[in-house]
Amino acid sequence: MDSALLVPLALGFGAIVGGGIVSLLVVAARRGRRAAEVISTAVPDGVDQVIDALESAGVVIDPSNNVVKASPGAFAFGLVWNQALVHPELVKLVDKVRRNGAPITKELELSRGPFGDANIYLFVRVARLGARYILLLAEDRTEGYRLDAVRRDFVANISHELKTPIGAVSLLAEALQAASDEPDQVKRFAKRLTKESERLARITQEIIELSRLQAADALAKPEIVKIDQVVAAAIDQNRVAADSHKISLVSGGRSTAEVYGDEALLGVAVHNLISNAIQYSPKGSRVGIGVSNSDGVVEIAVTDQGIGIPDDDLDRVFERFYRIDQARSRHTGGSGLGLSIVKHVVQNHGGDIRVWSQPGRGSTFTIRLPEASQVSAASLKEA
């Protein structure tokens, strides 16, 4: 072939092949972009920022139920794990909204996280977000539920605790009436009547104290309280009981420590510890009360050589109405409220209470309170 003809032919062929390849590439790129749009997990504009700003749980779910966006709260509540919703209950709600379109609001009790024992109560809202996504919002209501349960328990316990002495009082009154001609019987029933009414008065007083402590902040008007004075007064109040149980009260360690707070309430707390130490100790034993302070912490320790507390009960003795030996406690007139009052008083004063105990060896209850420093004491006086 003529070489002059060969050159333009080759050029033309090259242009056709090149053009074909370029247009193939352009088509492929367009298809690729469209495909990328279909599988893109991008969340609609603005939703990202809203979810990030949420304090509660917010989750965006795509059509395959993958989590494409979740707020830190959603992870903290244990709702999301491996880019999926942990709880089948939530997945069901999401599917339902996707099918029906209508938003759903529901209260749910769910396990906290994929393997946790604890439960969490959530107020959940699920709604469509644009055409493709589902938005799930959840608020934590666990604390509210817990408080409700505590209140229900408390009311049930109070009713039970009050019913027993009230029942006894009315039975004894009937017995008194029937035995009005027998002076000995009258004396016996009257004595028991006095005991039951004292018990009733004590429970009522303790319930009032406890409600007062829970309702108000004991440190709303804090005063400087001398700890030595509180301890000495509490020992004095328990002297008669100690003498009648033949128990010696030994106080050790003088201290000039002062704390901010309510002297009367702190007095009740120390009194309750000493009174328990006497109640749960054998005749002839000793109860020690020590005060110490170091590094800004004031410690009041009450030690006895009594019956002690089994390991399993140690955590529970501070619960309201908790008594290890119901029968014995009823006999001693205990209401099971004493230690929970101590715990509340101490917590209201920014402190804590610890217990060491061994059955048969005795117990030590230690109250720890933050010491009022001299600087802040001066500023309190000026104020």
| Residue 230 is a binding residue for ligand ADP (CB under 6 A) | no
**Min dist. Cβ of residue 192 to ligand ADP (A):** 20
Cβ proximity to ligand ADP, 323 vs 349, nearer residue:
323
Q: How far is the CB of 317 from ligand ADP (least distance, A)?
A: 4
Contact predicate 138/79, CB 8 Å: yes
* Sites for ligand ADP among residues 169-188 (CB under 6 A): none
Structure token pair of residue 248: 């010696």
Q: Which of 209, 334, 348, 372 binds ligand ADP (CB under 6 A)?
A: 334
Q: Is 258 helix (H, G, I), strand (E, B) or coil?
A: strand
Cβ proximity to ligand ADP: between 71 and 363 the closer is 363
Query: Measured from the CB of residue 329, what is the shortest distance to ligand ADP in angstroms?
Result: 4
Region class of 381: left (phi > 0), else alpha (psi between -120 and 50), else beta: alpha
Geometric angle at alpha carbon 281, from 275 and 343, rounded to 5°: 40
56 versus 366: smaller Cβ distance to ligand ADP: 366
Please select the residue that binds ligand ADP; options are 339, 345, 369, 372, rule is CB under 6 A: 339
SS3 248: strand
Rank residues 126 and 342 by Cβ distance to ligand ADP and give the closer one: 342
Chain Cα centroid distance, residue 353? 16
Give the Cα separation of 353 and 270 in Å (integer).
11
Residues 270-329 that bind ligand ADP (CB under 6 A): 272, 276-277, 280, 304, 306-309, 317, 322-325, 329
Which CA distances in Å does 142 have to 9, 80, 119, 139?
82, 18, 8, 9
Rounded CA-CA distance 126/107 in Å is 12
Residue 304 C-beta: closest distance to ligand ADP, Å = 5
Shortest spacing between CB 285 and ligand ADP, in angstroms? 11
d(CA 82, CA 61): 13
What tokens appear for 9 in the block? 């032919």
Query: Residues 78, 261, 336, 351: which binds ligand ADP (CB under 6 A)?
Result: 336
Name the residue nearer to ligand ADP (CB basis): 251 or 329: 329
What minimum distance in Å lies between the beta carbon of 152 and ligand ADP?
20
Token pair for 133:
């996504």
Shortest reach from residue 201's CB to ligand ADP, in Å? 14
Identify residues 103-122 at the interface with ligand ADP (CB under 6 A). none
Q: Which residues contact 265 (CB under 8 A, 6 or more apart)?
A: 213, 218, 345, 348, 349
Closest distance between ligand ADP and the C-beta of residue 337, in Å? 6
Nearer to ligand ADP, 66 or 214 (CB): 214
Q: How far is the CB of 259 from ligand ADP (least distance, A)?
A: 22
Comparing CB distances to ligand ADP, the nearer of 255 and 329 is 329
DSSP-assigned letters across all residues of 203-226: HHHHHHHHHHHHHS-TTSS-EEEE
Closest distance between ligand ADP and the C-beta of residue 292, in Å? Answer: 20
Smallest Cα–Cα separation from 235: which of 276, 289, 297?
Answer: 289
Sign of CA dihedral 98, 138, 153, 114: positive
Query: Which of residues 142 and 285 has its CB atom nearest to ligand ADP in the complex?
Result: 285
Give the SS3 label for residue 146: helix
What is the size of the binding site for ligand ADP (CB under 6 A)? Answer: 23
| Torsional sign, CA 43, 49, 50, 52 | positive
DSSP 323: -
Provide the binding-site residues for ligand ADP, judged by CB under 6 A: 272, 276-277, 280, 304, 306-309, 317, 322-325, 329, 334-340, 363
